[in-house]
Amino acid sequence: MDAQPTASHFVNGAYLEDRDGPRIPVIFPATGEEIAVVHGATPAVVEAALAAAEAAKGAWAALSPGERGRVLRRAADIIRDRNEALSQLETLDTGKPIQETRIADATSGADSLEYFGGLAAGLTGEHIPLPGGDWAYTMRLPLGVCVGIGAWNYPTQIACWKSAPALTCGNTMVFKPSETTPLSALKIAEIYIEAGLPPGVFNVIQGFGDVGAALVADARVAKVSLTGSARTGRKVYQAAAAGMKHATMELGGKSPLIIFDDAELEDAVSGAINANFYASGQVCSNGTRVFVQTGIKGAFLDRLAERVGKAVIGDPRDDGTNFGPMVSEEQVKIVMDYIDLGVKEGARLVYGGHRLNRPGWYIEPTIFADVTDDMTIAREEIFGPVMSVLDFETEDEVVARANATELGLSGAVFTRDLTRAHRVIGRIEAGSCWINQYNLTPVEIPFGGMKGSGIGRENSKAAIEAYSQIKTVYVGMGRVEAAF
Ligand code: NAD
């Protein structure tokens, strides 16, 4: 498959190139080969994208929501039709196994376009009766030009999760993918045009953080939605605040997965695997602090090691591979440093822990047991296939320890005790939680973090609030009284 895009950027309905921008190589993580090259946006490209989005916003907002929704639903159908090609491209760009990308990337993007496209015609204001025959109405209005900035773990999904609600609400968007995975958002831009989206409504430009920062700082931009690290989030949120812009921040986590003695063992093991090793652990909502009640600890660790031993580590293009490489050499270094720290600080390595001796950026699925709350691997987001297993005795103890973090993206509990499940999850300080399940994030349910993990929610009806504003009109039906 030829991964090289027609040009680096997609602006005002067409591909756009400007080779004066910094060269950004696209590397296939399984081999280290350069498979494409794009260039970061120059100031001229940034300007072209913002000008296109600004020029397109009036006519797009003037359509009825139902008309806008129709375009999104057509685009969703095209994405589904092209799922195989889009999945292969996503696998080349990210290194994620094709068996994952076929079901979790373009399809999740299509779900989002379909959901918001379907919701569109229902976007209405309210009629509010008032004393004396007066009344008021509200209008749900777009914000204007929105900026979307993506991380590298779910490039297609992030482009869709941000653009679908934004466009449905009548906004336009300039999207900047991560410099590590620049390819798939361009395909989404192409598909939108094929589906009938007017030029300029969705634009994609490439670049490093400085391009993101230039977009966020521009006075024409009304809203910024970032998916990225907590560190970047703090910078972008500050820059957005300086311009009184709306902001959605989808940031990192260090989420707790709590397994009680009475949990169904196989499900708890599956949950822990899904919470740590999907996408080679590069998932923001991962449950990387696995708290296991001491009564089930031995059985849990034995079964976990046995099942993780069955991971098929290989070329992500092969149908049978279910565990692929890390996204980049840099990420391998970050993760290996954490693994070394885990060993140094006294955690017990029970599985993996090594870089594989083969081309590409592979790290074994890694499990540490006897991890304590103060260890670095239990405190910082690693963003790799490293699971920390911590022991606990009581419910109160585990809730306090689970919440003792500045982050609050996700959390989960595995137990067969119905009331305990709801009681414990009710006390977890996190935005996206599961009971006896992990990491399922269908478009119908809100997704996002509490505390340092972010602001606002993506997906579901909650995302409509994030991309629209309300105008209130008071209608006087009687005479106007005044004091003098
Ligand atoms: P990152 O923070 O390094 O980069 C994210 C994006 O921000 C990139 O496109 C980058 O170019 C851009 N950027 C960097 N500095 C900027 C600045 N000053 N102004 C504007 N844009 C800037 O994150 P990453 O390494 O690409 O992704 C991994 C992180 O993303 C992890 O922390 C992970 O938890 C998080 N993440 C969160 C979610 C979520 O929905 N909560 C989903 C996926 C990933």
Q: Which of 190, 395, 429, 458 is catalytic?
A: 458
Confidence of residue 10 (pLDDT cuts 50, 70, 90): very high
Distance 372 CA to ligand 1 centre (A): 28
Atom of ligand 1 nearest to the CA of 448: 41
Q: Which two tokens stand for residue 347?
A: 């955690």
Q: Is the CB of 221 under 6 A from ligand 1?
A: no
Between the alpha carbon of residue 181 and those of residues 8, 32, 457, the distances in Å are 12, 14, 23
Atom of ligand 1 nearest to the CA of 250: 41
Q: Which two tokens stand for residue 131?
A: 């004393």
Q: Which of 162, 187, 245, 297 is catalytic?
A: 162
Q: Which two tokens stand for residue 384?
A: 């790799």
Could you confirm whether 162 is annotated as catalytic?
A: yes
Q: What percent of the chain has pLDDT over 70?
A: 100
The residue-averaged pLDDT of 170-184 equals 98
Distance 230 CA to ligand 1 centre (A): 8
The residue-averaged pLDDT of 468-480 equals 98
Q: Is the CB of 138 under 6 A from ligand 1?
A: no
Distance 22 CA to ligand 1 centre (A): 19
This prediction has a pTM of: 0.97
pLDDT exceeds 90 at position 77:
yes
Beta-carbon-side half-sphere exposure of residue 151 (alpha carbons within 13 Å): 21
Confidence of residue 120 (pLDDT cuts 50, 70, 90): very high
Tens-digit pLDDT profile for residues 209-221: 999 999 999 999 9
pLDDT for 154 equals 98
Q: Which of 190, 250, 429, 465 is catalytic?
A: 250
Q: Is the CB of 284 under 6 A from ligand 1?
A: yes
Atom of ligand 1 nearest to the CA of 447: 40
| Residue 95 Rama label (left phi>0; alpha psi -120 to 50; beta) | left
Tens-digit pLDDT profile for residues 404-437: 999 999 999 999 999 999 999 999 999 999 999 9
Q: Which of 284, 297, 381, 465 is catalytic?
A: 284
Beta-carbon-side half-sphere exposure of residue 304 (alpha carbons within 13 Å): 29
Tens-digit pLDDT profile for residues 137-164: 999 999 999 999 999 999 999 999 999 9
Q: Is the CB of 208 under 6 A from ligand 1?
A: yes
Distance 52 CA to ligand 1 centre (A): 25
Distance 181 CA to ligand 1 centre (A): 12
Q: Which of 171, 154, 158, 196 is nearest to 59 (CA)?
A: 171
Q: What percent of the chain has pLDDT over 90?
A: 100
3-state secondary structure the chain: CCCCCCCCEEECCEEECCCCCCEEEEEECCCCEEEEEEECCCHHHHHHHHHHHHHHHHHHHHCCHHHHHHHHHHHHHHHHHCHHHHHHHHHHHHCCCHHHHHHHCHHHHHHHHHHHHHHHHHCCCCEEECHHHCEEEEEEEECCEEEEECCCCCHHHHHHHHHHHHHHCCCEEEEECCCCCCCHHHHHHHHHHHCCCCCCCEEECCCCHHHHHHHHHCCCEEEEEEECCHHHHHHHHHHHHHCCCEEEEECCCCCEEEECCCCCHHHHHHHHHHCCCHHHHCCCCCCCEEEEEHHHHHHHHHHHHHHHCCCCECCCCCCCCCECCCCCHHHHHHHHHHHHHHHHCCCEEEECCCECCCCCCCECCEEEECCCCCCHHHHCCCCCCEEEEEEECCHHHHHHHHHCCCEECEEEEECCCHHHHHHHHHHCCCCEEEECCCCCCCCCCCECCEECCEECCECCCHHHHHCEEEEEEEECCCCCCCCC
Average pLDDT for the chain: 98
pLDDT for 1 equals 79
Atom of ligand 1 nearest to the CA of 229: 32
Distance 226 CA to ligand 1 centre (A): 7
Query: In whole angstroms, what is the distance from residue 474 CA to residue 296 CA?
Result: 62
Could you confirm whether 250 is annotated as catalytic?
A: yes
Tens-digit pLDDT profile for residues 333-352: 999 999 999 999 999 999 99
pLDDT for 197 equals 98
Query: In whole angstroms, what is the distance from residue 313 CA to residue 130 CA?
Result: 65
The residue-averaged pLDDT of 299-307 equals 98
